[in-house]
Amino acid sequence: MTLPRVKLSDPVALRGYAHPLRMALVGLLRREGPMTATRAAERLGENVPNCSFHLRQLAKYGLAERAPASDARERPWRATALATSWEDASDDPQVRAATDTLNATQLALYTRQAEEFLARRADEPTRWRAITGFSDASLYVTADELAALTERMDALLAEYDGRTADPSSRPADARRVALVQLALLDAPAPTDGAPAQGDGDAAVPDER
Protein backbone atom coordinates (compact mmCIF):
# COMPACT_ATOMS: atom_id res chain seq x y z
CA MET A 1 0.00 0.00 0.00
CA THR A 2 1.01 3.65 -0.31
CA LEU A 3 1.03 5.65 2.89
CA PRO A 4 -1.10 8.81 3.01
CA ARG A 5 1.41 11.52 2.22
CA VAL A 6 1.73 15.30 2.45
CA LYS A 7 3.96 16.81 -0.24
CA LEU A 8 5.45 20.23 0.45
CA SER A 9 6.33 22.49 -2.46
CA ASP A 10 5.81 26.03 -1.18
CA PRO A 11 9.04 27.63 0.12
CA VAL A 12 7.23 29.06 3.16
CA ALA A 13 5.88 25.64 4.13
CA LEU A 14 9.26 24.01 3.50
CA ARG A 15 11.01 26.50 5.77
CA GLY A 16 8.20 26.23 8.29
CA TYR A 17 8.66 22.48 8.60
CA ALA A 18 12.44 22.87 8.97
CA HIS A 19 12.33 23.01 12.77
CA PRO A 20 13.51 20.17 15.04
CA LEU A 21 10.55 20.38 17.43
CA ARG A 22 8.01 20.51 14.61
CA MET A 23 9.53 17.42 13.03
CA ALA A 24 9.52 15.71 16.41
CA LEU A 25 5.87 16.62 16.98
CA VAL A 26 4.78 15.30 13.60
CA GLY A 27 6.72 12.08 14.20
CA LEU A 28 5.15 11.66 17.62
CA LEU A 29 1.60 12.13 16.31
CA ARG A 30 2.25 9.62 13.54
CA ARG A 31 3.67 7.00 15.89
CA GLU A 32 1.29 7.35 18.82
CA GLY A 33 -1.85 8.89 17.36
CA PRO A 34 -3.85 11.97 18.41
CA MET A 35 -2.82 13.73 21.60
CA THR A 36 -3.07 17.10 23.31
CA ALA A 37 -0.25 19.62 23.42
CA THR A 38 0.09 18.80 27.13
CA ARG A 39 0.66 15.11 26.42
CA ALA A 40 3.04 15.90 23.56
CA ALA A 41 5.05 18.15 25.85
CA GLU A 42 5.32 15.35 28.41
CA ARG A 43 6.48 12.85 25.79
CA LEU A 44 9.09 15.20 24.30
CA GLY A 45 10.29 16.87 27.49
CA GLU A 46 9.13 20.28 26.27
CA ASN A 47 6.89 22.94 27.79
CA VAL A 48 3.21 23.08 26.87
CA PRO A 49 3.08 26.63 25.39
CA ASN A 50 5.99 25.80 23.09
CA CYS A 51 4.30 22.63 21.81
CA SER A 52 0.98 24.45 21.41
CA PHE A 53 2.62 27.15 19.30
CA HIS A 54 4.43 24.73 17.03
CA LEU A 55 1.36 22.51 16.58
CA ARG A 56 -0.55 25.57 15.40
CA GLN A 57 2.26 26.34 12.98
CA LEU A 58 2.16 22.77 11.66
CA ALA A 59 -1.56 23.20 11.06
CA LYS A 60 -0.82 26.24 8.88
CA TYR A 61 1.32 24.05 6.62
CA GLY A 62 -1.17 21.19 6.44
CA LEU A 63 0.85 18.79 8.59
CA ALA A 64 -1.38 18.68 11.69
CA GLU A 65 -5.03 19.28 12.46
CA ARG A 66 -7.47 19.13 15.33
CA ALA A 67 -8.78 15.66 16.13
CA PRO A 68 -12.19 14.73 17.58
CA ALA A 69 -12.15 14.78 21.37
CA SER A 70 -13.94 12.43 23.74
CA ASP A 71 -13.84 15.11 26.42
CA ALA A 72 -14.91 18.71 25.79
CA ARG A 73 -12.00 19.89 27.90
CA GLU A 74 -9.44 18.23 25.64
CA ARG A 75 -8.21 19.63 22.35
CA PRO A 76 -6.12 16.89 20.75
CA TRP A 77 -4.07 17.14 17.58
CA ARG A 78 -3.40 14.54 14.91
CA ALA A 79 -1.08 14.24 11.92
CA THR A 80 -2.76 14.80 8.56
CA ALA A 81 -0.75 12.00 6.91
CA LEU A 82 1.73 9.25 7.72
CA ALA A 83 4.56 10.54 5.53
CA THR A 84 5.97 13.84 4.27
CA SER A 85 7.82 14.41 1.02
CA TRP A 86 9.15 17.41 -0.87
CA GLU A 87 10.65 18.26 -4.21
CA ASP A 88 14.46 18.14 -4.23
CA ALA A 89 14.92 18.75 -7.96
CA SER A 90 13.31 22.17 -8.35
CA ASP A 91 15.10 24.84 -10.37
CA ASP A 92 13.37 27.60 -8.38
CA PRO A 93 16.11 29.24 -6.24
CA GLN A 94 13.72 29.89 -3.35
CA VAL A 95 12.50 26.29 -3.32
CA ARG A 96 16.06 24.97 -3.54
CA ALA A 97 17.20 27.14 -0.64
CA ALA A 98 14.20 26.06 1.44
CA THR A 99 14.73 22.35 0.72
CA ASP A 100 18.43 22.70 1.55
CA THR A 101 17.44 24.12 4.95
CA LEU A 102 14.88 21.37 5.49
CA ASN A 103 17.32 18.62 4.49
CA ALA A 104 19.95 20.02 6.85
CA THR A 105 17.44 20.05 9.71
CA GLN A 106 16.44 16.48 8.93
CA LEU A 107 20.08 15.35 8.80
CA ALA A 108 20.68 16.89 12.23
CA LEU A 109 17.64 15.00 13.53
CA TYR A 110 18.95 11.73 12.08
CA THR A 111 22.33 12.36 13.71
CA ARG A 112 20.74 12.96 17.11
CA GLN A 113 18.64 9.81 16.79
CA ALA A 114 21.73 7.79 15.86
CA GLU A 115 23.67 9.15 18.83
CA GLU A 116 20.80 8.35 21.20
CA PHE A 117 20.61 4.81 19.84
CA LEU A 118 24.35 4.24 20.18
CA ALA A 119 24.21 5.43 23.78
CA ARG A 120 21.79 2.63 24.69
CA ARG A 121 22.64 0.00 22.10
CA ALA A 122 24.59 -2.09 24.61
CA ASP A 123 21.36 -2.65 26.54
CA GLU A 124 19.50 -4.05 23.54
CA PRO A 125 19.06 -7.82 23.04
CA THR A 126 21.82 -9.52 21.07
CA ARG A 127 19.48 -10.41 18.18
CA TRP A 128 18.73 -6.71 17.65
CA ARG A 129 22.33 -5.52 18.11
CA ALA A 130 23.41 -7.98 15.41
CA ILE A 131 21.17 -6.44 12.74
CA THR A 132 21.21 -2.72 13.59
CA GLY A 133 23.90 -0.09 13.20
CA PHE A 134 25.59 1.56 10.25
CA SER A 135 26.89 0.37 6.88
CA ASP A 136 27.76 1.93 3.56
CA ALA A 137 28.62 0.91 0.02
CA SER A 138 30.31 2.69 -2.86
CA LEU A 139 28.57 2.26 -6.21
CA TYR A 140 29.44 3.36 -9.72
CA VAL A 141 26.08 3.96 -11.39
CA THR A 142 24.40 6.30 -13.82
CA ALA A 143 21.65 8.65 -12.72
CA ASP A 144 19.07 6.37 -14.35
CA GLU A 145 20.48 3.30 -12.60
CA LEU A 146 20.42 5.04 -9.22
CA ALA A 147 16.81 6.12 -9.82
CA ALA A 148 15.86 2.53 -10.64
CA LEU A 149 17.70 1.21 -7.59
CA THR A 150 15.91 3.71 -5.36
CA GLU A 151 12.56 2.64 -6.81
CA ARG A 152 13.36 -1.01 -6.06
CA MET A 153 14.30 -0.20 -2.46
CA ASP A 154 11.17 1.90 -2.02
CA ALA A 155 9.06 -1.00 -3.31
CA LEU A 156 10.63 -3.36 -0.76
CA LEU A 157 9.98 -0.97 2.11
CA ALA A 158 6.42 -0.37 0.92
CA GLU A 159 5.63 -4.02 1.67
CA TYR A 160 5.58 -3.02 5.36
CA ASP A 161 3.51 0.17 4.97
CA GLY A 162 0.39 -1.60 6.18
CA ARG A 163 1.92 -2.07 9.61
CA THR A 164 2.48 1.68 9.89
CA ALA A 165 -1.09 2.49 8.98
CA ASP A 166 -2.65 -0.34 11.02
CA PRO A 167 -0.97 -1.08 14.38
CA SER A 168 -3.10 -4.22 14.80
CA SER A 169 -1.28 -5.80 11.83
CA ARG A 170 2.13 -5.69 13.55
CA PRO A 171 3.61 -8.95 14.89
CA ALA A 172 3.79 -9.10 18.67
CA ASP A 173 7.59 -8.74 18.69
CA ALA A 174 7.77 -5.99 16.05
CA ARG A 175 9.60 -2.78 16.92
CA ARG A 176 9.85 0.53 15.11
CA VAL A 177 13.07 0.72 13.10
CA ALA A 178 14.31 3.86 11.34
CA LEU A 179 15.99 3.07 8.02
CA VAL A 180 17.75 6.20 6.80
CA GLN A 181 18.62 6.44 3.12
CA LEU A 182 21.41 8.76 2.01
CA ALA A 183 22.54 8.94 -1.61
CA LEU A 184 25.68 11.09 -1.66
CA LEU A 185 27.70 12.03 -4.73
CA ASP A 186 31.47 12.24 -4.55
CA ALA A 187 32.97 15.57 -5.52
CA PRO A 188 33.82 15.75 -9.25
CA ALA A 189 37.21 14.35 -10.16
CA PRO A 190 40.03 16.92 -10.61
CA THR A 191 40.42 18.19 -14.16
CA ASP A 192 43.62 20.24 -13.78
CA GLY A 193 46.03 17.33 -13.96
CA ALA A 194 46.24 16.86 -10.18
CA PRO A 195 46.10 13.20 -9.10
CA ALA A 196 42.74 12.00 -7.82
CA GLN A 197 42.49 10.84 -4.23
CA GLY A 198 43.94 7.37 -3.96
CA ASP A 199 46.31 7.72 -6.98
CA GLY A 200 49.94 6.85 -6.46
CA ASP A 201 51.73 4.09 -4.59
CA ALA A 202 50.07 4.45 -1.18
CA ALA A 203 47.44 1.87 -0.36
CA VAL A 204 43.99 3.28 0.34
CA PRO A 205 41.88 1.37 2.86
CA ASP A 206 38.35 0.31 2.01
CA GLU A 207 36.06 2.59 4.04
CA ARG A 208 33.10 0.26 3.98
DSSP, collapsed to helix, strand or coil, labels residue 97 as: helix
DSSP, collapsed to helix, strand or coil, labels residue 138 as: coil
Buried b (16+ CB within 10 A) or exposed e, 59-88: eebbbbeebeeeeeeeebbebbbbebebee
Nearest Cα to Cα of residue 179 among 164, 196, 190: 164
Say if residue 2's pLDDT is above 80. Answer: no
C-alpha separations of 30 from 11, 61, 89, 188 in Å? 23, 16, 27, 39
pLDDT band with cut points at 50, 70 and 90 for residue 127? very high
Q: Where are the domains of the chain?
A: 5-125
Can you tell me the mean pLDDT for 81-108?
93
Is-contact 120 114, C-beta < 8 A? Answer: no
pTM over 0.85: no
What share of the chain in percent tops pLDDT 70?
90
- Interaxial angle between packed helices 48-60 and 37-44, expressed in degrees from 0 to 180 and rounded to the nearest 10: 110
What is the C-alpha to C-alpha distance for residues 23 and 31, in angstroms, rounded to an integer?
12
pLDDT band with cut points at 50, 70 and 90 for residue 130? very high
Average pLDDT, the chain: 89
What is the C-alpha to C-alpha distance for residues 156 and 47, in angstroms, rounded to an integer?
39
C-alpha separations of 87 from 84, 91, 149 in Å? 11, 10, 19
pLDDT band with cut points at 50, 70 and 90 for residue 3? low
pLDDT at position 192: 62
Say if residue 69's pLDDT is above 90. Answer: no
- If you classify domain 5-125 with CATH, what class do you get? mainly alpha
Which letter does DSSP use for residue 160 in this model? T
pLDDT at position 191: 75
Structure confidence by residue, pLDDT tens digits, 26-42: 999 999 999 999 999 99
pLDDT band with cut points at 50, 70 and 90 for residue 208? very low
More confident of the two residues 79 and 205: 79
State which of 44-53, 72-81, 155-164 shows the largest mean pLDDT.
44-53
Other CB atoms within 10 Å distance of the CB of residue 170: 14
CA angle 184, 186, 188 (to 5 degrees): 140
pLDDT band with cut points at 50, 70 and 90 for residue 43? very high
pLDDT at position 200: 46
